[in-house]
A and B are shown apart, each in its own frame.
Chain A
């Protein structure tokens, strides 16, 4: 038998590393939530007494509230567009073998690894050139591009896991192809649709890197508004706004988990 110490060391190091990882993951959001509840005037931890005054402050802040509404609208619009385009594409790639299929799939997944500055500048340039610079459309199309990888991947997996015998049974029961799609395929893909859609919404809602290039005065998304605020100063109002986003995101993620299981999305 070889010496035991490397085993012990490995076990202890493993436990320590994992604890560190989970703490680090949770730390920033927890600190923000904690700081938002302070009764004092500055961002310190632990907070100086508890109060909801900064939430009141946040709701009074029209810039934040407008940005919040803007982000919600953008998130929903991007989600629906991305789902429609992504599903049609994923369905086509699943059911047919055609030239360029793998290229299309790889391209649809690639926005994840294209540096956002590259995509942002390129899009900004193109949109300006075709007269869509500084429009909601431009911002929306950018968000569709960055949410597509998640939608295409999730729906591709759902389609691949779908038992074809359901569709065959429907066809055997005289259902024409469009009836099979509407009454069997789509309902059975519902969990995949929901998680893809929710994830697309969350990604769009939180995006800062692309919005900062494509946003414009009057169409600041919430993350952009927070960014501009942070660059100058930060007070507990920011923590209150951020907490609202954190709570919203966590609720949405738990919803995905309930509906489909997280492992299907990623």
Chain B
């Protein structure tokens, strides 16, 4: 499926400024295996965009291409108006929170946060100020001398966020940052993180397989499947008006009925008749032209 650029710019909260992240026809093939195919996407300044899809849909590959860890087979990547396609990771203006956080185990919390600033050559006193500012922001200033191993999972995640944001990157990359946490903690930390990200207003690209997270956090969601974009839209649009059977199936709880269309109505295989003029339900054409699929949104 091709992304329609007109739709994309209308869908967000209408931003005319140059996008912070621009992906243009991005593809990644491993031999015959297609990881990502022809992905185009603009992320506006301050926007929170999720890449959502099941395992193997290409969302992590996309994120790693943006960070520079994987070289795309085709297409271009632009960050903050600069073409970074050929640049190595350390010359890209991104901050990333890894799935396992990847906090350096041989450094303290403060040293972890200071690491990026040192690489930028930030002066020592300013570095210290910034480190403690970041740690205060994530409410971990009192643990600055601890080693990561002495922190809880939630605390580690906040350090990883502070470390990524310390450089004030143009683009924040989040790789399934909640997947290593237990269910209860997940919701609370999700709220904490959103609050921080909103306060800073950093543009964020978020990878998740959890539709609930995506729906709760995002300005826009990119639903992916087998390397291709299924739909791009606001959480509401994705939820209310899934554009394909895959999206309908993947998002929310919905009932999908197979059946045929005739006489301005849909008739399911087990006999249920739904007239076309009575939403909330949507019709997706199946591969065989005479068979249609009806999906019912599961809003309660």
Contacts and interface: CB of A to CB of B under 8 A. Distances in A.
A binds B: yes
Contacts of A171: 68-69, 88-90
A177 B91 CA distance: 11
A175 interface: yes
Nearest to A167: B102
The interface centre, meaning the residue of B89, B95, B104, B106 with most chain A CB atoms within 10 A of its CB, is B89
A85 B251 CA distance: 55
Given A173-B163, A174-B90, A184-B104, A168 B98 contact: yes
Across chains A and B, which 5 residue pairs bring their CB atoms closest together, nearest first? Answer: A173-B116, A169-B102, A171-B89, A165-B102, A174-B119
B89 A168 contact: yes
Contacts of A173: 90, 95, 115-116, 119, 163, 167
Interface residues of B, number: 26
A170 to B, nearest CB: 7
B289 to A, nearest CB: 47
Contacts of B92: 172
Contacts, number: 65
Contacts of A169: 96, 98, 102-104, 163
Interface string A165-208: 11011111111110100011001101000000000000000000
A166 B104 contact: yes
Nearest to A173: B116
A163 interface: yes
Contacts of A165: 98-100, 102
A221 B67 CA distance: 54
B14 interface: no
Interface in A20-40: none
Interface of A (DSSP majority class): helix
A11 to B, nearest CB: 42
B94 interface: yes
A166 B103 CA distance: 7
Interface residues of A, number: 19
B67 A187 contact: no
Interface string B92-118: 101110111011111000000001100
B120 interface: yes
A165 B115 CA distance: 15
Contacts of B105: 166, 188
Nearest to B100: A165
A187 B105 CA distance: 10
Contacts of A163: 100, 102
Given A168-B67, A168-B89, A169-B96, A174 B120 contact: yes
A165 B238 CA distance: 32
A180 to B, nearest CB: 8
B88 A172 contact: no
Interface in A140-186: 163, 165-166, 168-177, 179, 183-184
A164 to B, nearest CB: 9
A176 B90 contact: yes
B126 to A, nearest CB: 16
Contacts of B120: 174
B93 to A, nearest CB: 9
Contacts of A170: 104, 115
A194 to B, nearest CB: 14
Contacts of B90: 171-177
A168 B67 CA distance: 9
B106 A187 contact: yes
Nearest to A183: B115
Contact of B167 (A166, A168, A174, A179): A174
B115 to A, nearest CB: 5
B123 to A, nearest CB: 16
A82 to B, nearest CB: 24
A44 B185 CA distance: 70
